[in-house]
Each structure stands twice: as structure tokens, then as C-alpha cells.
Amino acid sequence: METKNIGLRGIEVADTKISNIDGEKGKLIYRGYDIFELTKKSSYEETAYLLLHDDLPTKEQLAQFKSKLNEARWIPKRMQINMGNWRKDADPMDMLQAFVSALAGYYDEEFATKEASYDKAINLIAKIPTIIASWQRVRDGLEIIDPDPSLDHAANFLYMMFGEKPDKEIEKIFDTCLILHADHTFNASTFVARQVASTRAHMYSAASAAIGALSGELHGGANTEVMKMLLEIGTIDNVVPWIKERMEKGERIMGMGHAVYKTYDPRATILKELSRKLGAKTGEPWYDITEKVETTTIEEMKKQKGKDIYPNVDLYSASIYYMLKIPMDLNTPIFAISRVAGWAAHIIEEKFAEAAPKPALYRPKAVYVGKYCGPEGCEYKELDLRK
Ligand code: ACO
């Protein structure tokens, strides 16, 4: 017998009120609201609040949420000093995972209640950008820049990284990227977060496990790989031969394909437009090259396998971050800056769901296909009798 449910594709494992994907129509909603509308009318802070609570915040609720984020943006001095002990070429995702996990060791905190989990969620949403920006400054041998309470979430991160406040257009572009990456139902990292939370482990533990899952190149790591690919391709004329050669060898084109969407990923539609805008603003070729990668992969997939393939969220985010001068290996950490709102919402839902069916400890079955020596088991050989 062989496992039927490889990768758990299509298996429903829990109820959620947080987000939903229509993979056929290419729609993504957060708590009932379409992401197209959220990116046009909302901010990342409103979106994070929406994911954590059941609806968009009122003016007062938003002001209070922003004020809590402002208070929580600081990270302990000892953590900043500790960053100086890391190798400068360490992977930022490893650093992020370690420091998120370490947050539990820096503070004496209450974890058991739902209310306490909301505080941890705010702490994570606020501190992850500070951890990443601080790491960037430390590894560049520069002074760490403190958060600026006059700035919103997106602008604060760019300010802490670069030491300059971004203009409104750049702030809006980055804020839109954060909104688009904030949640995506039971994606790999969110499922990991929920799985860890299902054991009743605390918020930091579940979030750091999710960061580990996000780092892989088939998930959040794809956006860094996309930029490496674009740089290797280098020119628009090189796109067709480069993609053809890789696909003929059976290699995957990063940023293309999705486990759920059977049509255009709606996030890619919005990001494509942002990348186009930035390409026009900066005069850099990355939007044009990315678009050619998209069309060539679609054509080659049709020719070689008779199948359809579409861009996912990572295809156009890579060139956006590159044109914003963000170091390439921070693409995936930036994904975490945004996705942590979704992780936190799912962790809270997993641990504190009130209505039946309540989530249970995840414990799937495996099909054993290993050694079998009969009903009594294999004969155990002492160490010096083994060959
Ligand atoms: N490039 C070339 N071929 C591809 C790609 C790709 N990007 N994606 C899928 N295929 C092919 C596979 O080789 C396979 O061909 P086969 O049937 O001949 O073996 C077929 O399409 C189906 O592949 P699966 O892995 O079964 O498709 P699935 O839908 O489960 O894969 C996945 C989804 C893992 C994201 C895949 O499309 C992929 O590897 N993409 C590249 C990595 C990437 O961009 N990841 C980011 C995803 S979005 C996110 O996690 C944030």
C-alpha cells in the first residue's frame, strides 16, 4: 500500500474564519474582504488587526492598535549586542528564527490566556521588522536605528533599514506588499505554526517554527531565488534560452506555479503592476525581464507538458524589493514581517477556538513501507555480530 495523501493536498484538517482562497477563480479574502479592496483602501496595520480580530478596526481601535505596536517596536539592548556575535554572512532567516524564539527568554511573560496571546501577537508584529532592520545594520557595521513613533509600520521598517524616511509612493508600495503577504490560509508555514500551537506550545515557539518552514525555497525562500534567477538571466534577450534550457532539464522556475491556484495568483496581479511602476520610476530592467520569464515559462510548460502554469506571489515581489534597494537575502525575512500577522491569528484560532469542531492535536498517520521480517519483528543482532 502507498500513501494516498502525499503533501496533504486537498485534505481539510480544520475550520478557519481567517482567510479563504478560491483557487479556480484566483480570489483571496481575509475575514471576508477581498485583498484587491484591502490593498486599495487599507493599511497593513488595519489588515493585521482584521486578521487578528473578526473585523476591520474602528478609528479608536486602530489608534490603540498602532499605539501598542509603537510601544512594542523596541528590542532588548542585550539582543542587539548578541547580534554582533553572529557571523555577518549568516542567513537572515536563521538569525530571525533564533531571535524570535529567544524573545521568550528576554521577557518574563504570561502565555496561557487568549488575551496574553494578543499581546504576544503585537510583540511579534512590532519586533520582527526591528530585528531584521537591526541585523542589517549590524552586519553592515552601522549603528542600529531606533524605531520612529511618528512613522507607520511599512515606513518604520524602511527607515530603520536605510536611515531615511521613504516618500509616500514607496511607503504605499511597501505597505501593499505587506498587506498581500499577510495571510494565505493553510500554507506550509501557517500549517506548521498551527501544528506547533496544537501541542499548546506558546506563540513565540510556534512563530519561530513557522519561520523555519518559510525559509525553504519551495515556500517563502522562492522570492530570493527569483531575484538570483533574474540576475543570472541578466538581459531580456537571454530569457528564452535560459528558461528553455532549465525546463528541458526538468528544473523548476521559481516564482511560477502554485499548489492551490489554478489560475493567476491575485497577489501576483497586484505585485506585477507595482513592479511595472517601479521599473518605470527607476529605469531598471527587472520588470521587463520578469514579465518575459512569466510568458516564456507559460509557453514552455504548454509545449513541454501540455499544462498551464501561472506566476505566484514571489515572481514580482523579488524585483520590487530589489528596486527598493533591499538586500536580496532579506526578501524572505520581509515575507515574515508581513505573514506573522497571519501566523499569530491562526495560532490564536488553533489554541482558543470556542465553537465546535475545536481543533485537536495534529497527529496524522503514515504508511509504513520499511523493513518487515514477520509478525515477531526482525532478529536483533548484538553490535559485534553485525556486518
Ligand atoms: N517550474 C517548472 N515546472 C513546474 C513548476 C515550476 N515552477 N511548478 C510546477 N511544475 C511542474 C512540476 O515539475 C510537475 O511536473 P510533472 O507533473 O511532469 O512532474 C507539475 O508542474 C506539477 O508540480 P507539483 O509540484 O505537483 O505542483 P504543485 O502545484 O504541488 O507545486 C509548487 C506547487 C511547489 C509551488 C511548485 O509550483 C513549485 O515548485 N514552484 C516553484 C517554487 C515557488 O515559486 N514556490 C513559491 C510558492 S508560493 C509560496 O509558497 C509563497
Which three-class secondary structure state does DSSP give residue 178?
helix
Given this model, what pLDDT does residue 42 score?
Answer: 98
Are 126 and 248 in the same domain? no
Tell me, yes or no, if the pTM score tops 0.85.
yes
Say yes or no: 196 and 184 in one domain: yes
- Shared domain for 205 and 102, answered yes or no, is yes
Instruction: Tell whether 312 is covered by a domain.
Output: yes
Q: Who contacts 270 (Cβ-Cβ below 8 Å, separation ≥6)?
A: 35, 36, 39, 176, 180
Residue 332 lies in a domain: yes
Residue 379's pLDDT band (cuts 50, 70, 90)? very high
Calculate the average pLDDT of the chain: 95
Lowest mean pLDDT among 63-72, 133-142, 230-239, 352-361: 352-361
Task: Say how many Å lie between the CA of residue 183 and the centre of ligand 1.
Answer: 20
Where is the domain boundary, 323, 342, 363?
Answer: 323
Answer whether residue 189 is part of any domain. yes
Shared-domain flag, residues 136 and 14: yes
Same domain, 92 and 189: yes
pLDDT, tens digit, for every residue of 306-360?
999 999 999 999 999 999 999 999 999 999 999 999 999 999 999 998 877 777 8
Q: Say whether both 157 and 188 belong to one domain.
A: yes
Identify whether residues 285 and 338 lie together within a single domain. Answer: no
Residue 109 in this model has a pLDDT that exceeds 80: no
Burial code (b: 16+ CB inside 10 Å, e: under 16) for 141-167 equals eeebbebeeebbbbbbbbbbbbeeebe
8-state DSSP, 58: P
Q: What is the mean pLDDT of residues 210-219?
A: 95
Do residue 122 and residue 155 come from a single domain? yes
pLDDT band at residue 375 under the 50/70/90 scheme:
very high
Is the pLDDT at 373 greater than 90? The verdict is yes
Coil/strand/helix, residue 326:
coil
Q: Is 312 in the pocket of ligand 1 (CB under 6 A)?
A: yes
Probe residue for ligand 1, chosen from 256, 262, 299 as the CB with the greatest number of ligand atoms within 8 Å? 256
Provide the domain limits for residue 144. Answer: 6-221+327-351
Query: Could you tell me if the CB of 258 is within 6 A of ligand 1?
Result: yes
Per-residue model confidence (pLDDT) at position 46: 98
**Is residue 6 very low, low, confident or very high in pLDDT (cuts 50, 70, 90)?**
confident
286 shares its domain with 267: yes
Q: What integer pLDDT is reported at residue 111 of this predicted model?
A: 78
Question: What distance in angstroms lies between residue 280's CA and the mean position of ligand 1's atoms?
Answer: 30
As a whole-number percent, the residues of the chain with pLDDT over 90 amount to 92
Q: What is the pLDDT of residue 354?
A: 81
Same domain, 146 and 160: yes
**Are 193 and 239 within one domain?**
no
Residue 367 counted as domain residue: no
Which residue among the candidates 181, 219, 258, 346 is catalytic per the annotation?
258
Amino acid at 59: K
Query: How open is the CA angle 355-359-364, to the nearest 5 degrees?
Result: 155
380 is a domain residue: no
With 0-12 / 13-18 / 19 or more C-beta atoms within 10 angstroms meaning exposed / middle / buried, residue 259 is middle
187 sits in the region (left: phi over 0; alpha: psi -120 to 50; else beta) called beta
Record the cell numbers describing residue 246, joined without a space: 532549465
258 has catalytic annotation: yes
Verify whether ligand 1 is closer than 6 Å to residue 8 (CB atom). no
According to DSSP, the residues that pair with 256 across neighbouring strands are 311
Tens of pLDDT, residue by residue over 154-185, are 999 999 999 999 999 999 999 999 999 999 99
Q: What's the total number of domains in the chain?
A: 2
Q: Does any domain span residue 298? A: yes
Confidence tier at 88 by pLDDT (50, 70, 90)? very high
Nearest C-alpha neighbor of 318 from the set 370, 364, 255: 255
Separation of alpha carbons 178 and 335, rounded Å: 8
pLDDT at 340: 98
Average the pLDDT over each of 38-47, 294-303, 314-323, 352-361 and give the range with the smallest value.
Answer: 352-361
CATH number at residue 263: 1.10.230.10
Give pLDDT, residue 3: 79
pLDDT at 112: 82
At 123 the pLDDT is 96
Whole-angstrom Cα distance, residue 288 to residue 73?
Answer: 37
One domain for residues 125 and 267: no
Q: Which DSSP string corresponds to 116-173?
A: HHHHHHHHHHHHHHHHHHHHHHHHTT-PPPPP-TTS-HHHHHHHHHHSSPPPHHHHHH
Give me ligand 1 centre to Cα 238, in Å. Answer: 23
Residue 113 lies in a domain: yes
Active-site residue (options: 314, 329, 346, 384): 314
In 3D space, the residue among 99, 319, 321, 368 whose CA is nearest the CA of residue 208 turns out to be 99
The DSSP code sequence of 259-315 is SS-SS--HHHHHHHHHHHHHHHHH--SHHHHHHHHHHHHHHHHHHHHS----B-HHH
Q: Is residue 203, in this structure, part of any structural domain at all?
A: yes
- The CATH number given to whatever domain includes residue 137 is 1.10.580.10
Predicted pLDDT of residue 59: 98
Residue 256 near ligand 1, beta carbon < 6 Å: yes
CA dihedral 135, 139, 141, 144 (to 10 degrees): 0
Residue 153 identity (one-letter amino acid): H
Question: Residues 45-50: what's their mean pLDDT?
Answer: 98
CA–centroid distance, residue 142 to ligand 1 (Å): 40
